[in-house]
Amino acid sequence: MAEQKESSVLFSLKELMNLEEDRIKQEEDQKRRVEEEAARARAEAERRAREEEESRMRAAEEKRRAEEQRAREEAARLEAIRHGEVEKARLEAENRARMEQLSRQQEHEKELARLNTDKSKKRLVGIAVGVGLLAIGGLVGVAVIYSKAQQRERDLQAQLSDLTAKQEENNRKMSELNSKLATATTPEERAQLEQQIEDAKKKAAELAAAQQSVKTGGGAPRAGGNVAAPPPRALPKCKCAAGDPLCSEIPGQTCSP
C-alpha cells in the first residue's frame, strides 16, 4: 500500500515536472516567436524606410534635372530671341541703306535728265535762231532739220520716260524684296530672295546704262540689254552759195558741200 502511494506520488511529481517543462518550453517558444516577429517588424520597417528614402532621393534628383532642363530651354529661347532681334536690326539697317542709295541714284538721274532737257532746249533755241538768220537762203532746209531735231528729241524723251518708269518699277520691286528678305525665316527663302534682289540690281544697272545712252543722244537698248549706238547724222545741204558767211553762222551746224 505504501509502495503504491509512493509510486503515485512519484508519478504525480513526474507529471508536474513534465507539465512544468512543457510550460517552460512554450514560454521559450512564445518568447522566440515574439523576438522573431519583432526582428521581422524591424527589418520591414528598415526596408520601408530605405525604400522611402530612395524614392525621395530619386524624386529630388528628377526634380533637379527637370529644373535644369527648363533653365537650359529658357536660356536657349532667350538667346534665340536676342539673335533674332539683332539679325532683324541688321537687315533693317541694310535695307535702309539700300533705299537711301537708290533714292540718291534716282535723284541724280532726275537731275541729269533735267540738265539734258535744258541743253536740248538751248540747242533747239540755237537752231531756231539759225533758221531766222537763214530765212532768205535756207528757210525750207532749216525747217526740215528743226522738225527732225524736234522729233528726235521727242523720241529720246519718250524713251527716257519709259526707261525711268521701268527703273522706278524695278526699284519698287527691289524694295519689296528687301522687306521680304528682312522677315524671311528659312535659308531657302532667303537664298531665293537674295537671287531675285541680285537680278533686280543687274536690271537696274542695265536700265541706268540705257538711260545714260539716251541722255547722250543714243537710242533705246537693244534686245539683251545692250545699248544701241546712235545712228550717223547726215549733214544738211547748204542752200546758200559757197563761201556765204551765213552758212557758218548757225551755232553747232556744219553744211556739206
C-alpha grid cell, residue 200:
533686280
Rounded to the nearest angstrom, the gap between the alpha carbon of residue 143 and the centroid of all alpha carbons in its chain is 59
What tens digit of pLDDT does each residue of 54-91 get? 999 999 999 999 999 999 999 999 999 999 999 999 99
CB 5: neighbour CB atoms within 10 A? 9
pLDDT digit string, tens, across residues 32-51: 999 999 999 999 999 999 99
Share of the chain above pLDDT 70, in %: 72
Integer Cα distance of 215 and 236 in angstroms? 23
Mean pLDDT score of the chain: 78
pLDDT at position 32 is 92
The pLDDT tens digits for 143-189 are: 667 677 778 778 888 888 888 999 899 999 888 888 888 888 888 98
Q: What is the DSSP string of 130-148?
A: HHHHTTTTSHHHHHHHHHH
Neighbours of 88 (CB within 10 A): 12
What is the predicted pLDDT for the residue at 149? Answer: 74
Burial (Cβ within 10 Å: 0-12, 13-18, ≥19) of residue 250: buried
Q: How far apart are CA 87 and CA 89, in angstroms?
A: 5
The CA-based diameter of the chain, rounded to the nearest angstrom, is: 202
List of residues 6+ apart from 208 with CB closer than 8 A: 105, 109, 167
Q: Could you tell me which of 151, 167, 147 has the C-alpha nearest to residue 212?
A: 167
pTM value? 0.31
pLDDT bracket for residue 223 (50, 70, 90): very low
Confidence class of residue 252 from pLDDT cuts 50, 70 and 90?
very low
